[in-house]
C-alpha cells in the first residue's frame, strides 16, 4: 500500500472444506461482516466430508454467500480494496470454486487478488478479537487437517517447532467419535459427551515421538481406543461412552498442553495462542489456561465461531499479506498440499 493510514477493506472467501464462507474485514482486525454456510448437515449423512458433494454445494452457494457478506457490510464489490481467498491447503475441488470466484471478482472489479494459506488464516483469527496481540508469539494450531506448534515470528512468517507425524488432532476426534457412534463432526460431540464422563476412567498412552520433543502422534491413541472397544466387545463388558471419550480427550489435551507450555518455556515466550477447530474444545481451553496461568503466560484463543473454518480469518491474513506486497496473479491456482509458510 502506498497511502499511509489508508483504511483497507478486504472481501475474503473460504471454501477449502465443507464451509462456504465470505467476509469483509477492515485493516485485518475489524470484521464488518462474516457469513458461513455450513454443509455439515449434508455430510453428516455420510459420516464425513464427501469432496464431490462439497464442491457442488460450494458452487450452489458461493455467489449468495458473497452477496450476503457484501450487503451485511453495506458495500458493493467496487467498494472493497482487495479480494482475498484461501488457495490451499484443502480439498482441490472445493478450493477451486473459491479461487475461481475470487479471480472472477478481482478481475471484474479490477481489484488486487490475495491468495491466502488456510493455516495462516487460522492463526490470524486471533488478531480479530485480540487487538493487543502482535508477533512474535507461540501458536498451537489444531484443526481437522493440521496439528502444528509454531513460533509466529512475524505476520505470515512461521518457525515450525513440532507437527503431527500421523493424524491431526481433529481427525483423531472425528475417528474416535465415529467408532463410538457419535457421528460427524466428532470434536464438538466428544466435547459435549465428555462433560458427563470420568476422564480418569481409562488411562490411554500419551504418545511421545523419539528425538522430536514437540512433534505429535495420535494414531497410536486412536488404535488404543479401538482396541479398548474390541476387547470390551469380546469379553462382554459394557463400554461407558462418556468415560471412554472423556479419557481419550484427556490424553489428547494433556499432550497438547504439555508440548505447548514446555516449548513456551524453552523458547522464552510469554504469549501463547491457539487456533483451528480443536482450539474451541472446552477441556483444552480450560487445561491450557490453567497451565499458562501457572507459568505467567498470557493465553489467547478466538471465539469458537472463529476457530472453525470462516472467511473473517482469511480476510485478516490477506490484509497482512497485501500490506507486505504479496499480491497474486490471475493465474492463482488451488494448491491442495500447500504447507504452512509457503506462498
The residues that touch Zn ion, with contacts defined as CB under 5 A, are 143, 309
Min. distance of Cβ 278 from ligand KG4 in angstroms? 4
Partner whose footprint covers residue 186, from ligand KG4, Zn ion, none (CB < 5 to 8 Å by kind): ligand KG4
Q: Rounded to an integer, what distance in angstroms lies between the CA atom of residue 274 and that of residue 287?
A: 12
Q: Rounded to an integer, what distance in angstroms lies between the CA atom of residue 121 and that of residue 110?
A: 24
**Contact flag: residue 145 with ligand KG4 (CB under 6 A):** yes
In the complex with ligand KG4, the residue whose CB is nearer, 106 or 149, is: 149
**Contact flag: residue 188 with ligand KG4 (CB under 6 A):** yes
DSSP-based three-state secondary structure for 192: helix
**Which range in 186-194, 195-203, 289-297, 327-335 contacts ligand KG4 by CB under 6 A?**
186-194
Q: Rounded to an integer, what distance in angstroms lies between the CA atom of residue 268 and that of residue 312?
A: 30
Partner whose footprint covers residue 278, from ligand KG4, Zn ion, none (CB < 5 to 8 Å by kind): ligand KG4
How many CA atoms, within 13 angstroms, populate the side-chain half-sphere of residue 97?
28
Partner whose footprint covers residue 187, from Zn ion, ligand KG4, none (CB < 5 to 8 Å by kind): ligand KG4
Min. distance of Cβ 309 from Zn ion in angstroms? 4
Task: For the segment 229-288, give every residue that binds ligand KG4 (CB under 6 A).
Answer: 276-278, 280-281
In the complex with ligand KG4, the residue whose CB is nearer, 105 or 207, is: 207
Q: Using CB under 6 A, which of 28, 115, 170, 197 touches ligand KG4?
A: 170
Alpha-carbon dihedral angle through residues 92, 97, 99, 100, given to the nearest 10 degrees: 130
DSSP per position, 136-180: SEEEEEE-SS-EEEEEEEETTEEEEEEEBSSS-HHHHHHHHHHHT
**Which range in 152-160, 181-189, 205-213, 225-233 contacts ligand KG4 by CB under 6 A?**
181-189
Alpha-carbon dihedral angle through residues 165, 167, 169, 171, given to the nearest 10 degrees: 170
The size of the interface with ligand KG4 (CB under 6 A), counted in residues, is: 20
- Sign for the pseudo-dihedral over CA of 340, 276, 299, 130: positive
In the complex with ligand KG4, the residue whose CB is nearer, 17 or 70, is: 17
**Contact flag: residue 187 with ligand KG4 (CB under 6 A):** yes
Q: Rounded to an integer, what distance in angstroms lies between the CA atom of residue 128 and that of residue 138?
A: 17
Q: Using CB under 6 A, which of 94, 185, 197, 315 touches ligand KG4?
A: 185
Q: Using CB under 6 A, which of 14, 167, 191, 215 touches ligand KG4?
A: 191
Min. distance of Cβ 213 from Zn ion in angstroms? 26
**Contact flag: residue 309 with ligand KG4 (CB under 6 A):** yes
Binding mask 4-43 for ligand KG4 (x = CB under 6 A): -------------x--------------------------
Do residues 137 and 152 lie in contact, with contact meaning Cβ atoms separated by under 8 Å?
yes
Rounded CA Rg of the chain: 20
Q: Rounded to an integer, what distance in angstroms lies between the CA atom of residue 174 and that of residue 337?
A: 21
What's the grid cell of residue 201?
476412567
**Which range in 73-81, 159-167, 182-190, 197-205 contacts ligand KG4 by CB under 6 A?**
182-190
Helices (H), the chain: 40-44, 51-72, 92-109, 118-129, 169-179, 186-194, 219-235, 241-267, 282-294, 304-307, 312-323
Grid cell 502482535 is found at 134
Min. distance of Cβ 238 from ligand KG4 in angstroms? 25
**Contact flag: residue 156 with ligand KG4 (CB under 6 A):** no
Partner whose footprint covers residue 170, from ligand KG4, Zn ion, none (CB < 5 to 8 Å by kind): ligand KG4
Q: Which residues bind ligand KG4 (CB under 6 A)?
A: 17, 122, 143-145, 170, 173-174, 185-188, 191, 276-278, 280-281, 308-309
Amino acid at each position: 500500500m502506498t497511502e499511509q493510514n489508508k483504511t483497507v477493506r478486504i472481501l475474503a472467501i473460504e471454501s477449502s472444506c465443507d464451509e462456504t464462507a465470505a467476509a469483509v474485514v477492515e485493516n485485518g482486525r475489524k470484521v464488518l461482516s462474516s457469513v458461513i454456510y455450513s454443509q455439515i448437515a449434508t455430510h453428516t449423512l455420510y459420516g464425513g466430508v464427501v469432496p464431490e458433494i462439497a464442491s457442488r454445494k460450494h458452487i450452489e452457494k458461493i455467489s449468495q454467500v458473497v452477496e450476503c457478506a457484501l450487503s451485511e457490510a453495506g458495500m458493493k464489490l467496487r467498494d472493497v480494496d482487495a479480494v482475498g481467498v484461501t488457495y490451499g491447503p484443502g480439498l482441490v475441488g472445493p478450493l477451486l470454486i473459491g479461487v475461481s470466484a475470487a479471480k472472477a471478482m478481482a478481475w471484474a472489479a479490477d481489484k488486487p487478488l490475495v491468495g491466502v494459506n488456510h493455516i495462516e488464516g487460522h492463526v490470524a483469527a486471533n488478531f480479530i478479537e485480540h487487538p493487543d496481540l502482535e508477533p512474535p508469539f507461540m501458536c498451537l494450531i489444531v484443526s481437522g487437517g493440521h496439528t502444528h506448534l509454531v513460533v509466529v515470528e512475524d505476520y505470515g512468517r512461521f518457525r515450525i517447532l513440532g507437527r503431527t507425524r500421523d493424524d491431526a488432532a481433529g481427525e483423531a476426534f472425528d475417528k474416535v467419535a465415529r467408532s463410538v457412534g457419535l457421528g460427524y463432526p466428532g470434536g464438538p460431540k466428544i466435547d459435549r459427551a465428555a462433560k458427563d464422563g470420568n476422564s480418569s476412567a481409562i488411562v490411554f498412552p500419551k504418545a511421545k515421538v523419539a528425538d522430536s520433543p514437540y512433534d505429535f502422534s495420535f494414531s497410536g491413541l486412536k488404535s488404543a481406543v479401538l482396541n479398548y472397544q474390541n476387547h470390551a466387545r469380546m469379553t462382554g463388558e459394557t463400554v461407558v461412552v462418556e468415560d471412554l471419550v472423556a479419557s481419550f480427550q484427556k490424553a489428547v489435551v494433556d499432550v497438547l498442553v504439555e508440548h505447548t507450555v514446555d516449548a513456551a518455556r524453552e523458547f522464552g515466550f510469554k504469549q501463547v495462542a491457539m487456533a483451528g477447530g480443536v482450539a474451541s474444545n472446552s477441556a483444552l481451553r480450560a487445561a491450557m489456561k490453567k497451565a499458562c496461568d501457572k507459568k505467567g503466560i498470557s493465553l489467547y484463543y478466538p471465539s469458537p465461531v472463529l476457530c472453525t473454518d470462516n472467511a473473517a480469518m482469511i480476510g485478516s491474513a490477506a490484509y497482512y499479506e497485501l500490506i507486505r506486497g504479496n499480491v497474486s496473479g490471475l493465474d492463482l491456482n488451488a494448491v491442495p498440499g500447500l504447507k504452512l509458510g509457503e506462498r
